[in-house]
Amino acid sequence: MKLGLLGLASGVLAVSACAASAHVGGIPGGFASGFFHPILGWDHVAAMVAVGMWGAFLGRPALWLLPILFPMVMACGAAFGIAGFDLPHTETGIALSSMVLGVMILLGVRAPLWVAGLIVGVFAVCHGYAHGVELPAASNPFAFALGFIISTGLLHLCGIGLGFLLGVPGGKYVVRGTGAAIALVGTAFLAGVM
């Protein structure tokens, strides 16, 4: 029962994001801007929640390894962006991340740990790079970075919470349905509809 409530709460939190894309417009400030930046874009919300959900679906140790791996690799991607390296097709990679991870959850793919880590790592670079390119424009880049890292981590936790629904009767369908929704969001971004 507790697991079900946790999953439900996570779901409500995750879908409370506004429909704006995360990479439109300038960045005004520090921690709060960084914190809300990933939450205010469906492309990021879908991917971050999907990472947590897929981890929960795969079980231990992926349950905690994927949410640990993602911010670390994402930071490396952000460092590339800050340094001014050119990484093409990052927006496509971000849209693909939601689509691929959503499909993984929908089909219940039990990939080996290293494959799951590789997939999540590659997409984390895209997400990090997109943030990193925007970071130097923030008035307090460090606070902005801290905000988006914590917010990203909390979105993973939302995904893990949703994944706990697997432990309640009928929860499997909710989790797979959410995976389908995430894949749809990714497809919509890829097609340029959103």
CB of 97 or CB of 102, closer to another protein? 97
Shortest reach from residue 79's CB to another protein, in Å = 4
Q: How far is the CB of 134 from another protein (least distance, A)?
A: 12
Q: Among residues 13 and 78, whose Cβ is nearest to another protein?
A: 78
Nearest-CA neighbor of 76 among 127, 150, 32, 142? 127
Nearer to another protein, 129 or 189 (CB): 129
Q: Is the peptide bond before 28 cis (omega within 30 degrees of 0)?
A: no
In sequence order, what DSSP letters do the residues of 127-193 get, joined into one string?
A: HHHHHHHHGGGSSSHHHHHHHHHHHHHHHHHHHHHHHGGGGSTTHHHHHHHHHHHHHHHHHHHHHT-
How far apart, in whole angstroms, are the C-alpha atoms of residue 119 and residue 25?
29
What's the min distance (Å) between Cβ of 72 and another protein?
5
- Least gap, CB of 152 to another protein (angstroms): 8
Could you list the residues that contact another protein (CB under 8 A)? Answer: 64, 67-69, 71-72, 74-76, 78-79, 82-84, 132, 135-136, 141-142, 145-146, 149-150, 153
